[in-house]
Amino acid sequence: MELEKKPLYDCLKCPAYCCSYDRIIVNGHDIRRLAKHFSITAEQAIDRFTKLVENERVLRHQKDEIYGSICMFIDKETRRCSVYKARPAVCHEYPDRPHCGYYDFLTWERRQQDDKEFIPLKKG
């Protein structure tokens, strides 16, 4: 039996970098879960929360001071997902391995800056 590996990242110490990806893909199950969460129809959920990008249905974004743009469901005060229990499968699965590359980068930068709270801003 394979032992489950303990995560080597701590999302509570990260400003939700993964939620700034442009393409958080949603499938039919994700849409229905979000619709149920907000007590609306699947059609309304598609309309309010998603957009089509090159034939892929993805979550809409909002402006963000740290990353330029981030998923519409991030609470920008807490940097936490506001639909955590109803979040799409891809969010649930990420990063699907013990390491998170961004968290490794973040902790490396924090050590360099000798600042446990340091947040590197996205350039450009």
| Residues forming the site for ligand SF4 (CB under 6 A) | 9, 11, 14, 16-19, 24, 59, 71, 73-74, 81, 83, 87-88, 91, 94-95, 100, 102-103
Please enumerate in sequence order all residues whose Cβ is within 8 A of that of 4, keeping only pairs 6 or more positions apart, or say none: none
Handedness of CA 57, 82, 6, 108 (dihedral sign): positive
Q: Which is nearer to ligand SF4, 99 or 113 (CB)?
A: 99
Q: Residue 8 CB, nearest distance to ligand SF4 (Å)?
A: 10
C-alpha distances out from residue 50 to 55, 62, 85, Å: 12, 12, 18
Helices (H), 14-113: 28-38, 42-49, 89-93, 101-113
Q: Which is nearer to ligand SF4, 1 or 26 (CB)?
A: 26
Q: Which is nearer to ligand SF4, 41 or 75 (CB)?
A: 75
Q: Residue 1 CB, nearest distance to ligand SF4 (Å)?
A: 26
Q: Residue 105 CB, nearest distance to ligand SF4 (Å)?
A: 9
